[in-house]
Amino acid sequence: MANLFLRFPGNRHKALTFSYDDGPREDVRLIDLFRRLGLRATFNLNSGSFPPEEKAGSKTFRLTKKEALDLYSGSGMEVAAHTLTHPRLEEMGAGLAAYEIMKDKENLEEMFGGFVSGIAYPYGTYSDEIVETVRNAGLIYARTIEPSYSFEIPKDWLRLKPTCHHGDERLMELAESFVSADLTGRDRDPLLFYVWGHSFEFDERFGGTWDVIESFSSYVAGRNDIWYATNGEIFEYIEAFNRLRFSTDRSYVRNESYIPVSFFYNEKDYTAAPGEVLILD
């Protein structure tokens, strides 16, 4: 529809999200950083790879199941799937691949309660058959690792490309472009900045780059025109926008979702409450 543009909650023009994999111990420090700065992220876990509980508090690579439950529950972060044991899915038989995906989803839903909506492909690799398996498992988004270097709203959520990895040499260049973009009152699509990685990459074993994510996070945080959200929240919000029902003459619109939806139409900002019918100027 001409002159209709998505806006994020509060009629914001921008959204920022993060995606971190594997459930390593460094997630503790990363989540502490994100919570202090008001940032939101999705953490993709392998439920079949938790070490024994007697290893709690040790130097094991991953958190134990109890440690993971304590960390992610109530943190404001999203938990998503990453397969049961982190295999290359496209190299497995169809049945085994489906089991890896479904069992991880089932375990995480039982562990944390509620629904698991998304997945990150292990190693970022997949095939058309794996995409269909993910779809049939009831997952609604699936992250790859191929950078888009753009802020465009994704069109294929089961082949979801992040903007870039946190270690990309263009990270701060992209951040500056994202933050400086002035979209107030303009007829154009909003921007989505999507960063992914593994928190263990900040450890001294991999160059000790905590300063990189700390500097980036501090730079992008606390801005009134950015919505800080998890992967799943952004997907569900965009789906709600796409379900807005307009009359034939476009004089009114109904929000058929369960969340408020903001949009820009004919030079004016609107927000429709769940189930509300709005008269459009």
Band of the pLDDT at 182, cuts 50, 70, 90? Answer: confident
DSSP string, 41-100: EEEEE-TT-PPPGGGTTSS-SBPPHHHHHHHHTTSSPEEEE--SS---GGGS-HHHHHHH
- Inform me whether the pLDDT recorded for 141 exceeds 70: yes
Q: Domain residue spans in the chain? A: 11-241, 245-279
* Distance from chain centroid for Cα 243: 20
Pairwise CA distance, residues 43 & 57, whole Å: 20
Residue range 10-37, pLDDT digits in tens: 999 999 999 999 999 999 999 999 999 9
Stated pTM of the model: 0.95
b/e map of 87-118 (b: 16 or more CB within 10 Å)? eebbeeeeeebbebbbbbbebbeebbeeebbb
The CATH architecture assigned to 11-241 reads Alpha-Beta Barrel (3.20)
Range 55-81 average pLDDT: 92
Predicted confidence (pLDDT) per residue in 123-134, tens digit: 999 999 999 999
For 107, the token pair is: 């375990």
